């Protein structure tokens, strides 16, 4: 079980850059609150800032930023709350979005463009068009999703630092 961190604050231990066999590793994690539309996007925005400082090229940066934002919005709109985590080594960027529920009943359906279970409130804000998961997949070099109703959803997004 990972420790709880206060909202939007970057975990202290995660901030520490660790030297290992693969080079410098940066980790950041963010708590994402359910239904908090004011803060929605702050994690993605910070991820983009960090990666920009690392000198990640513009097109990769865009792909990561889009995936991060979509994943964060999914947590805000659909989950009871969760975490978004990003780590970088010399070969890749990995993001993990994890929540504690409610879980996705039918992943195949959820991956379909246009399929959405988002409430009208989300639609009024310009979201919930059923494009999120497929858009995340499109942006990533590797994408994995697993979910269990009543337990939660786990999203893993990989981005290669070498050319696609």
Partner 1 sequence: LKIRTIKELLKAELLAGEKAIDLDILFACGSDLMSDVLTFVKEQTVLLTGLTNSQVVRTAELLDVSAIVFVRGKKPTDDILKMATDRDIAILTTQYTLFDACGILYQGGLRGGAGGGNG
Q: Under the rule (CB under 8 A), what is the footprint of partner 1?
A: 37-38, 40-41, 44-45, 48, 58, 62, 65-66, 68-70, 125-132, 135, 138
- Name which of 35 and 89 has its Cβ closer to partner 1: 35
- Name which of 25 and 125 has its Cβ closer to partner 1: 125
Bond into 102 cis (ω within 30): yes
Q: How far is the CB of 121 from partner 1 (least distance, A)?
A: 11
Q: How far is the CB of 89 from partner 1 (least distance, A)?
A: 23
Q: How far is the CB of 25 from partner 1 (least distance, A)?
A: 24
Q: Which two tokens stand for residue 56?
A: 């990640």
What residues are paired with 152 via a beta bridge?
Answer: 148
d(Cα 151, Cα 155) in Å, to the nearest integer?
A: 14
- Name which of 62 and 148 has its Cβ closer to partner 1: 62
DSSP string, 81-124: -EEEEEEE-SSEEEEEEEE-S---S-HHHHHSTT-----HHHHH
Q: How far is the CB of 23 from partner 1 (least distance, A)?
A: 27
- Name which of 55 and 126 has its Cβ closer to partner 1: 126
Residues 91, 22 contacting (CB under 8 angstroms): yes
């Amino acid at each position: 079980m990972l420790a709880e961190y206060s909202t939007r604050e970057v975990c202290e231990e995660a901030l520490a850059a660790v030297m290992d066999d693969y080079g410098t590793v940066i980790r950041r994690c963010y708590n994402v609150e359910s239904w908090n539309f004011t803060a929605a996007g702050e994690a993605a925005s910070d991820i983009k800032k960090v990666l920009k400082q690392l000198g990640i090229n513009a097109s990769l940066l865009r792909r990561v930023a889009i995936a991060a934002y979509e994943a964060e919005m999914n947590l805000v709109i659909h989950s009871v709350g969760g975490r978004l985590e990003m780590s970088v080594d010399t070969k890749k960027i990995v993001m993990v979005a994890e929540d504690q529920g409610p879980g996705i009943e039918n992943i195949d359906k959820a991956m379909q463009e246009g399929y959405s279970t988002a409430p009208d409130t989300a639609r009024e804000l310009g979201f919930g068009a059923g494009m999120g998961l497929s858009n995340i997949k499109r942006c990533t070099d590797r994408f994995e999703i697993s979910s269990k109703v009543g337990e939660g959803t786990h999203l893993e997004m990989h981005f290669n630092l070498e050319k696609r």
